[in-house]
Structure 1
Amino acid sequence: MSAVDLFSALLVVLGCVLLSAFFSGSETALTGASLAHMHSLEREGDRRAIVVSQLLRHKNRMIAALLFGNTLFNIAGSAVMTSLLIALVGENGAVYATFVMTALLLIAAEVLPKTLAINHPDRFSLTVARPVHLFVSVFGPLLAGVELLVRAMLKLAGVELGHGRTMLSPYDELKSTVDILHQEGNVERSARDMFGGVLDLTVMHVSDVMVHRTKMRAVDADLPPHQIIKEVLASPYTRMPLWRERPDNFIGVLHAKDLLRALDAAGGDASRLKIDEIMLAPWFTPEATTLEDQLQAFLMRKTHFAFVVDEYGEVMGLVTLEDILEEIVGDIRDEHDSAMPGVRPQKDGSVVVDGASPLRDLNRAMDWRLPDEEATTIAGLVIHEAGAIPEAGQVFRFHGFRFEVLRKMRNRITSLRVTPELQAEE
């Protein structure tokens, strides 16, 4: 074999390896490219992002084309290298060619380009988009036939394409993605919580965030006006529910600003006030209303307060606009609120928690991951996991935490000590 033929053969092998690396890296980059980033670049007018999006819309055909190209040049390079080494060293050249091409293709055509593509998928995808698109277009008819053959073979095997692509709903996928980005340090905890709160509005109901009837501050509408004024002034809230005859018979809502206007109009004489004329009509909303629907209803009615009723029309509690907004931005405190009510961190790493503390508030405040699907409060979670109402002093371990029941009143757990397992072991 002449030197020219040897040099030409080596160039062909090198070219095949480079082209194989191109197809191998392109496959990794394009399958790992961010659709959101490409969509953003599309809106900015980046033509390469448009090409990437077109390729991803026909992912099966794109992958078939890239595998075809990769396989074609792997085989071509191996064939040329085998012929070259057989011509140089004889029949043993085939064995040498196997080892040489395996090492060469593994390092230069697989590991190296794929490592580069994994670390820079978007940039790599934009770079290779046009040549890959041209290759897919040229070999389109052949690849369409391959795709049909593959689908037919899978159908014979009982596999239906398009079913079971993901076990997660878009809601779960978005939450999981943001959570992973937070763990990697790309998203702040506050941003992750706010994003998760917005998504949760579609799956949570007003019964999950309402103030229970037993914790509502309400006033008897038949009390003397001056006494009602004292009750309103003593309350940290601007809206006060009014009841008549019995505490669960709510007849309206008294706004502190309306009360002050009426008192000013009466010349400061409380005895001239007529509470029934000042109060606002009550608004009742079903407990199954989602927070998203309730938020829209608040915006349409231009009010911030509603009574929550069960299927029998009994008042279960109340929900406010602030309750819904807190699911997005976290606890909203003013000068009348206490910091983290019902949650008292201890020096040993444990936290003493009121049984009625909402799980979602605890998770936000302490950055915990206690499940809130089966229970709304920390006491409800312990009862659900224990399968019974525990006694004071009992200790449970689940979900990576140690729960000790400190106090119990009748059938209610009023106080618990919660300790993460790491601190509990120490």
Structure 2
Amino acid sequence: MDTSVSLLLIALLIALSAFFSTAELAVAASRRVRLRQLLDQGEYRAQAVLKVQEEPGDYFTVIQIGQNSVAILGGIVGEGALSPFVQQLLLRVGVAMETAQTAGVLTSFVVVTSLFILLADLFPKRLGMVAPEQVAVRVVGPMHFFLAVFHPIVWFFSRLTDALFKLLNLPQRRDDTITSDDILAMAEAGAEAGILDASEHEVIENVIELDTRTVTSAMTGRERIVYFLLDDSDELIKARIDQYPHSTYLVCDGDIDHVVGYVDSKFLLSRVLKGQPLSLRSEGLVHKALMVPDRLTLSEVLDQFRQAAEDIAVILNEYSLVVGIITINDVMNTVMGGLVSPLDEEQIVQRDADSWLIDGVTPIPDVLRALELDGLPHQDDYQTLAGFLMVMLRRIPRRTDAVEWGGYRFEVMDVDSHKIDQVMVTRLRSGPDGPGGAAQQAHMDSASKAL
């Protein structure tokens, strides 16, 4: 075969192979969400790509037939494509015939193979990865032509492939269900790429966590609740409002565990301006409070707020004792995270690269995020950092008590009436077999036996 004809055939085969490689990777890498966006924007070819992704068997069978056919033809044509030219060139400079023939074959093989690797494999696949959806909508039309041409062969091999999948009990369709983990992974990738700000990434994570975080992680604890008793005098009510200004106050009968309802401070202010007494037994002043169990998630309590048309709820444990209160603002503050926390005292303060001062009531998800930990032992048994220390120590912690786990040292810095106020967390520099790792294992064993 003439050298020019051989080179033309090789160029054609490289182009075909590049097309099949691009068509294969582009469709496989295309995101269904992005394809639906293109379809909504009027790109109707995206519908064909979505259909191929739903039933990819015939499509990829054509690609494999095409690629294997091109590879075989490329080997036949390429073997002698450049051999005569290289051989003649070497003979002119005095190289022996046998050596010139061998060098010609090797040179032809190396050059043709390199061209196929570069132009028919690496370049088209990288192109398909960079912009998969845009490439997929352009190649899906021509691929339908090849589907029609090779239909009998495609049908035969597709049925054999289907039989193998059934024999091995393998799924024949891709699972395109998007989970919360997928959303978090995409958000993290967007943050790393600079598309999302750190605060936006945090908000997305917090929204996803609403289904896993319980109300106790965002509540105002029992000891911090400001409440009135039904028989409190006007002077006592005014003094308490002056000392603890809030928009809403619980009203109890005798003690905090007997909640009658709640009163809105604006109604109290209205009575003061009108010169009326602040008697909490006045009709219509105290509203019935929404009661929720302490095992509800933040997402579930939002549903309760919507159904009851309330924005405050009293949280009860299994013994019907009040453990705290939660408002819709508490849930929203949990979602907004760092966007609103600068207005309040931060629960987690990073002192340097290897140490943090953390409030004992800080929710565990916030602690894990700050320390970049995947989890803590027996995590279902507590909601806060203080709870983690209690579970690990198996007693009420005292100042200077410490637990070492996961490469960190958790030391109690301040305790107020058995309540852990501050914990110093320090990153340990020892390896898993060093002092830190040994202490971690000791604590783990102790906690496991106690549980």
TM-score range, shorter chain: 0.7 to 0.9
| 1:150 aligned residue (148, 151, 161) | 161
- Are positions 1:352 and 2:357 aligned together? yes
Deviates more, 1:250-259 or 1:88-97: 88-97
Matched AA of 2:275:
G
CA contact (8 A) 2:271 2:278 kept: no
SS in 1 for 2:18: helix
CA contact (8 A) 1:285 1:307 kept: yes
How far apart are 1:110 and its partner, in Å?
Answer: 1.0
| Corresponding residue number in structure 1 for 2:125 | 114
CA contact (8 A) 1:56 1:62 kept: no
Q: What's the RMSD between the two structures over aligned residues?
A: 3.6
| 2:424 aligned residue (407, 410, 417) | 417
- Are positions 1:77 and 2:74 aligned together? yes
| Corresponding residue number in structure 1 for 2:245 | 236
| 2:204 aligned residue (184, 189, 195) | 195
How far apart are 1:306 and its partner, in Å?
Answer: 0.9
| 1:282 aligned residue (281, 289, 302) | 289
CA gap of 1:346–1:199, structure 2 versus 1, over 3 A, is closer
Cα deviation code 1:16-52 (max 9, x no counterpart): 1111011112222221223222211111111232332
- Are positions 1:407 and 2:397 aligned together? no
Q: Where do 1:1-400 residues align within 5 Å?
A: 1=1, 5-82=2-79, 84=81, 98-140=109-151, 142-156=153-167, 158-161=168-171, 170-264=179-273, 267-270=274-277, 274-275=281-282, 277-330=284-337, 339-346=344-351, 350-361=355-366, 371=375, 374=380, 375-384=382-391, 392-399=399-406
How far apart are 1:223 and its partner, in Å?
Answer: 1.2
Question: Structure 1-normalised TM-score?
Answer: 0.83
CA contact (8 A) 2:260 2:289 kept: yes
CA gap of 1:218–1:65, structure 2 versus 1, over 3 A, is farther
Separation of aligned partners in 2, 1:413 and 1:46: 59
Matched AA of 1:151:
D
Deviates more, 1:408-417 or 1:233-242: 408-417
CA gap of 1:394–1:67, structure 2 versus 1, over 3 A, is farther
Separation of aligned partners in 1, 2:19 and 2:135: 10
Separation of aligned partners in 2, 1:359 and 1:416: 13
How far apart are 1:406 and its partner, in Å?
Answer: 1.9
CA contact (8 A) 1:392 1:406 kept: yes
Separation of aligned partners in 2, 1:333 and 1:104: 58
SS in 1 for 2:211: coil
Corresponding residue pairs, total: 414
Matched AA of 1:146:
F
CA gap of 1:220–1:140, structure 2 versus 1, over 3 A, is farther
Cα deviation code 1:210-266 (max 9, x no counterpart): 2222332222222113312322332232110111122211111011012122333xx
Question: Structure 2-normalised TM-score?
Answer: 0.79
Cα deviation code 1:298-319 (max 9, x no counterpart): 2343321111223443332212
Matched AA of 1:43:
D
Q: Report percent identity of matched pairs.
A: 22
Matched AA of 2:264:
H
CA contact (8 A) 2:24 2:63 kept: yes
Separation of aligned partners in 2, 1:112 and 1:163: 28
SS in 1 for 2:145: helix
Cα deviation code 1:267-320 (max 9, x no counterpart): 324366645641111211233333333223323433211112234433322121
SS in 2 for 1:248: coil
CA contact (8 A) 2:58 2:154 kept: yes
Separation of aligned partners in 2, 1:247 and 1:87: 99
SS in 2 for 1:407: strand
CA gap of 1:11–1:361, structure 2 versus 1, over 3 A, is same
Deviates more, 1:31-40 or 1:288-297: 288-297
Residue segments in structure 1 that go unaligned for 5+ positions in a row: none
